Amino acid sequence: MLTQRTQVKRIVDRTVVDLKRPLVDHSNRRPGLTLRQRELKENEQNPNKPESRAQWSLRHFEVGRPLGKGKSGRVYLAREKRTRYIVALKVLFKKELKIRKEQEQLRREVEIQSHLRHPNILRLYGYFHDEKRVYLILEYAAKGELYKELQKLGRFEEHIAAKYIAQMVKALMYLHSKGVIHRDIKPENLLLGTNGELKIGDFGWSVHNPSSRRQTICGTIDYLPPEMIENQAYDEKVDLWSLGVLCYEFLVGEPPFEDANVQHTYRRIAKVDLHIPDHVSPRASDLIRKLLRYTPQDRIPLADILKHPWIMENTP
């Protein structure tokens, strides 16, 4: 159930969609209304419309260039034909989902993400499926993957990192208020919207269980908290630890406990063997250390992060 920080296997099926004509990205041209809002508006104007978009299919979309790829499929730029609204269409192969035993994980992801409404969380508008594939209709994040931006720059300047961390905090506060634990915070799961705002874009390991502590080990090795690797029960405070790892990686360019030997990584996490480079400012270091605490109850609460001096001096 653990994932590595290596490139995932490529699964390419060029017959999935019609790529005969490329799409132009018009995501900035018609702001204001979401795909669902436009749908409702048109329903009001045309109450006798013969079909309901509760029953989406591939014929409702023009599908263009690939935006990314993953272990079970690909993501494409797409446009809903009638409203001409730009979306991202995530195409997952049922065979791969079955081989990887990820059907239940996908059901949970859809159930959780489809009910979330926050500016720093990617919208899931709907889904449909055919004999071979499952299609998720997602909000299009125009500026792409945050991880690629981090790779290109090596590390972020502190005012940029602080802005992203503040946005992550607001998204996590919203999730936790809904009883949702994300469990897989990392740069690869973050996207950038039209205005450069951060958006959590993957809920594959998220879980909704507000009333009990959990013991499932999941996520990415470098981001696992001590309570997970020691098979202890855990709660939403696992996301605080991962936020600390994320902050460190934003400022340094690599996770704090990364090691070529997985067992060494585990030991470093369990000991909180943390070394912060000198180029990281004292205030940023202070926040990282307050998040990367062995005992979950000792980690700084989300609301207090927004009041932390490093966040306040670097964000409006």
Please check if 189 is assigned to a binding site: yes
Count of other CB atoms within 10 angstroms of residue 251: 23
Number of domains forming the structure of the chain: 2
User: Would you write out the chain's pLDDT as a tens digit for each of its 316 residues?
Assistant: 444 453 322 222 322 333 333 444 444 444 445 555 555 454 444 433 323 456 899 999 999 999 988 767 899 999 999 999 999 999 999 998 888 888 888 998 899 999 999 999 999 999 999 999 999 999 999 999 999 999 999 999 999 999 999 999 999 999 999 999 998 899 999 999 999 999 998 877 788 765 444 445 555 789 999 999 999 988 999 999 999 999 999 999 999 999 989 999 999 999 999 999 999 999 999 999 999 999 999 999 999 999 999 999 999 8
Q: How does strand 86-93 pair with strand 219-220?
A: unpaired
Residue numbers annotated as active site: 184
User: Do 125 and 170 belong to one domain?
Assistant: no
Residue 3 falls inside a structural domain: no
Q: Which pLDDT belongs to residue 219?
A: 58
Q: Which pLDDT belongs to residue 37?
A: 55
pTM for the whole thing? 0.81
**Residue found under tokens 């029960």:** 233
User: Do 176 and 255 belong to one domain?
Assistant: yes
From the number of C-beta atoms within 10 Å of its C-beta (0-12, 13-18, 19+), residue 44 rates as exposed
User: Do 168 and 243 belong to one domain?
Assistant: yes
Please check if 90 is assigned to a binding site: yes
d(CA 216, CA 283): 34
DSSP label at residue 299:
S
User: Do 151 and 270 belong to one domain?
Assistant: yes
User: Do 296 and 182 belong to one domain?
Assistant: yes
Give the CA angle between residues 138, 241, 179 to the nearest 5°. 55
Residue 68 falls inside a structural domain: yes
**Residue found under tokens 């409404």:** 117
Instruction: Give the start-end residues of each E strand in 27-123.
Output: 61-69, 73-80, 86-93
Q: Which pLDDT belongs to residue 49?
A: 34
Please check if 140 is assigned to a binding site: yes
Q: Which pLDDT belongs to residue 27?
A: 43
Q: Which pLDDT belongs to residue 275?
A: 97
Q: Which residues pair with 138 in a beta bridge?
A: 88, 124
- Which DSSP string corresponds to 168-233? HHHHHHHHHHTTEE----SGGGEEE-TTS-EEE---TT-EE-TTS-B----EEGGG--HHHHTT--
From 92, 120, 140, give the residue that closes a domain: 140
Helix orientation angle between 238-252 and 282-291, rounded to the nearest 10 degrees: 150
Please check if 141 is assigned to a binding site: yes
Please check if 71 is assigned to a binding site: yes
Please check if 42 is assigned to a binding site: no
Q: Which amino acid is at 148?
A: K
d(CA 7, CA 1): 16
User: Do 214 and 247 belong to one domain?
Assistant: yes
DSSP label at residue 22:
P
Residue 46 falls inside a structural domain: no
- Domain residues for the domain of 91 are 56-140
**Residue found under tokens 């209304």:** 33
From 83, 116, 140, give the residue that closes a domain: 140
User: Do 109 and 200 belong to one domain?
Assistant: no
CATH number of the domain that 245 lies in?
Answer: 1.10.510.10
